[in-house]
Amino acid sequence: MTALRFVRSVWESFRANSGLEPRLLDNLRVTAAKPGLVNFELDIKKEHTNRLNILHGGTIASMVDLGGSLAVASRGLFATGVSTDLNVTYLSSGGKVGDKILAEVSCDKFGKTLAYTSIKFANTKGEVFARGSHTKFVALAWKDPQNIVEEIKRLESESSSS
């Protein structure tokens, strides 16, 4: 299974089983994934905005959280661990209803206990408006029978040798 297909299956599991993500981020689309790197996009709707009718900081923070989980999934973990630290830096307004958010998230360090991820958010002009980081405790996630870590490692080594 490719990293993209696996990450999308993990996202579908979030949508089916979580309380927050299907309500707030249901129209989020995973557009690309390879081991350690995921891209997604979101069209801003009214429920994503604050009372100023611009993208709410909480929506961005939720995407930092979810994005970190999807980056961990790109390494083959189906159960993506639990958050130990989450940081968001807001650089400018993220847009208004009808605008599109483009996100790129990487799994910078992937260990047996912790995974460290970083994310940046841009508009369709490529202007970065926020960035974040997310640290996850993954020690228990390694036991999930739906993990495909070894398969992802094999695919990664095959693609880097060609």
Strand partners, 90: 130
Report which of 60, 55, 57, 20 is spatially closest to residue 40, judged by C-alpha positions: 60
C-beta separation of 69 from 10 below 8 A: yes
Side-by-side strand order, sheet with 37-43 = 29-34, 37-43, 100-110, 114-122, 128-137, 82-90
User: Which pTM value belongs to this model?
Assistant: 0.94
3-148 placed in CATH 3.40.50.1820? no
C-beta separation of 30 from 150 below 8 A: no
| Distance separating alpha carbons of residues 125 and 131, to the nearest angstrom | 16
What phi-psi label fits residue 53: left (phi over 0), alpha (psi between -120 and 50 degrees) or beta? left
Query: pLDDT of the chain along its 162 residues, tens only?
Result: 899 999 999 999 999 998 888 788 989 999 999 999 999 999 999 999 999 999 999 999 999 999 999 999 999 999 999 999 999 999 999 999 999 999 999 999 999 999 999 999 999 999 999 999 999 999 999 999 999 999 998 988 887 776
Give the domain ranges of the chain: 3-148
What is the β-pairing status of strands 100-110 and 114-122? antiparallel
Element (H, E) at 130: strand 128-137
What's the confidence (pLDDT) of residue 162? Answer: 66
